[in-house]
Chains A and B, each alone.
Chain A
Amino acid sequence: MVDPAYGFYIDPQRCIGCRSCVAACAECGTHRGHAMIHLDELDRRASTQTGPTVCMHCEDPICAMACPADAIKRTEDGVVHASQKPRCVACQNCELSCPFGVPIVLPGLEQMLKCDLCYDRSSTGLRPMCATVCPSQALLFAPRHEVAAMRSSQPLRDFQVGTLAIRTRTALMVPDPGQPLNLDVAALLDGDF
């Protein structure tokens, strides 16, 4: 069981795009050699900014609600796991439903895999692979009460997707976490990127 006092924090401002997390993620024993982290260049023409995406581990996981095979389960520590192999039918509903774009259905494997907080490590007190290698600590796995003192940005765990309010286990570090962050997924899809 992952220590509930520990939180996972994503700080895109600190990301330098080195892809260490992607390489380390594939090394994790539960990921079968596949990286579960998406490292995106946000606007490559104008900026060097990159953004890592790991699972936000929603308190009411949309991927699990969308799963017709009942394959996505959450353990009592709030970690939403990759699909259970005997159940997953690789329908990609989870891929389409997740507002953060986390689940991956790998062609050939025919199973949804996603960031599970490196459960084999984090459940025994170790940090997830990405958090151990991130040189700028843009991916941080730390006790919740220490984070506020460590950073000028503060954790944000509430998001708004259309009419759906989402509260997550993983936090996004933002300068001003006053309001729930409104994720306009549709606007992103319309953009010219």
Chain B
Amino acid sequence: MAGWKSLFPVDLAEESRLSRREFARFLALVSAGFTGGIGYLWLRKKPLDGAPDPPGEAPATLRVCGAGDVGPGNSFLFTFRNPQDRCILVHTLQGHWRAYRQTCTHLGCAVRWDGRGLECPCHNGHFEVEQGFPVQGPPTRPLSRLDVEVRADGGVWVVGDQDRPSAMSGLS
């Protein structure tokens, strides 16, 4: 039988028939496609940076609130660089102070404190509170983090942007 005849069979039943060789070829091609696709995605993956810094001059320091105003397990909202630069100060149950920008690194909704971590309600993304790394949901990059100090005057101060954490620092 000529080669083209086997490709275009007259019999209807032959048309849906799949030979072992064709099936193996299909599997190999699909596997190669998946492998290549994963490799391509790996090559152009986004670096594990935090959210970009918002525009505006950073004030050298900002007194957010008094240390006694926010008890452990509570949060406090403030703005830092400009009125649109919304940030969240968290007093964790362990007694640490943490401050992050509220911009979720997935699609930019405002994250909020849910008592255990930071939660983005838009797509159910969660960030752990110690370093701002994503732990659940679509976000892949950590939140933009601010440096916090508790000063002798009893105030909680934000003293500037912190360097973005890297994947390695998150794993260590």
Name A residues whose Cβ lies closer than 8 Å to a Cβ of B: 60-61, 64-65, 70, 72-76, 81
Interchain CB contact (< 8 A) of A61 among B8, B10, B13, B15:
B10
Chain B residues near A74: list those with CB within 8 A: 10-12
The 8 closest A-B pairs by CB, nearest first: A73-B12, A64-B10, A70-B8, A74-B10, A75-B12, A76-B13, A74-B11, A61-B10
Give the Cβ gap from B13 to chain A, nearest Cβ, in Å: 5
Contact A65 B10 (CB under 8 A): yes
Chain B residues near A73: list those with CB within 8 A: 10-12, 15
Number of interface residues of B (CB under 8 A): 6
Chain A residues near B11: list those with CB within 8 A: 73-76
- Nearest B residue to A78 via CB reads B11
Residue contacts A-B, CB under 8 angstroms, 9 given? A65-B10, A72-B10, A73-B11, A73-B15, A74-B10, A75-B11, A75-B13, A76-B11, A76-B13
**CB-CB contacts below 8 Å: B1-35 with A:** 8, 10-13, 15
Name B residues whose Cβ lies closer than 8 Å to a Cβ of A: 8, 10-13, 15
Chain B residues near A70: list those with CB within 8 A: 8
User: What is the bound-complex CA distance between A85 and B35, given in angstroms?
Assistant: 38
Given A70-B8, A74-B10, A75-B11, 7 extra CB contacts under 8 A:
A64-B10, A65-B10, A74-B11, A74-B12, A75-B13, A76-B11, A81-B12
Chain B residues near A81: list those with CB within 8 A: 12
Chain B residues near A75: list those with CB within 8 A: 11-13
User: What is the bound-complex CA distance between A81 and B12, given in angstroms?
Assistant: 10
User: What is the bound-complex CA distance between A174 and B8, given in angstroms?
Assistant: 35
Give the Cβ gap from A164 to chain B, nearest Cβ, in Å: 15
Chain A residues near B15: list those with CB within 8 A: 73
User: What is the bound-complex CA distance between A75 and B10, given in angstroms?
Assistant: 9
User: What is the bound-complex CA distance between A52 and B13, given in angstroms?
Assistant: 30
Chain A residues near B10: list those with CB within 8 A: 60-61, 64-65, 72-74
User: What is the bound-complex CA distance between A73 and B8, given in angstroms?
Assistant: 10
User: What is the bound-complex CA distance between A61 and B10, given in angstroms?
Assistant: 8
Give the Cβ gap from A165 to chain B, nearest Cβ, in Å: 17
- Nearest A residue to B5 via CB reads A65
Most chain A CB inside 10 Å of its own CB: which residue of B8, B10, B12? B10
User: What is the bound-complex CA distance between A65 and B101, given in angstroms?
Assistant: 70
Chain A residues near B12: list those with CB within 8 A: 73-76, 81
User: What is the bound-complex CA distance between A118 and B13, given in angstroms?
Assistant: 19
Give the Cβ gap from A142 to chain B, nearest Cβ, in Å: 25
Chain B residues near A60: list those with CB within 8 A: 10
Give the Cβ gap from B27 to chain A, nearest Cβ, in Å: 25
User: What is the bound-complex CA distance between A49 and B15, given in angstroms?
Assistant: 42
User: What is the bound-complex CA distance between A29 and B10, given in angstroms?
Assistant: 24
User: What is the bound-complex CA distance between A73 and B10, given in angstroms?
Assistant: 5
Give the Cβ gap from B169 to chain A, nearest Cβ, in Å: 58
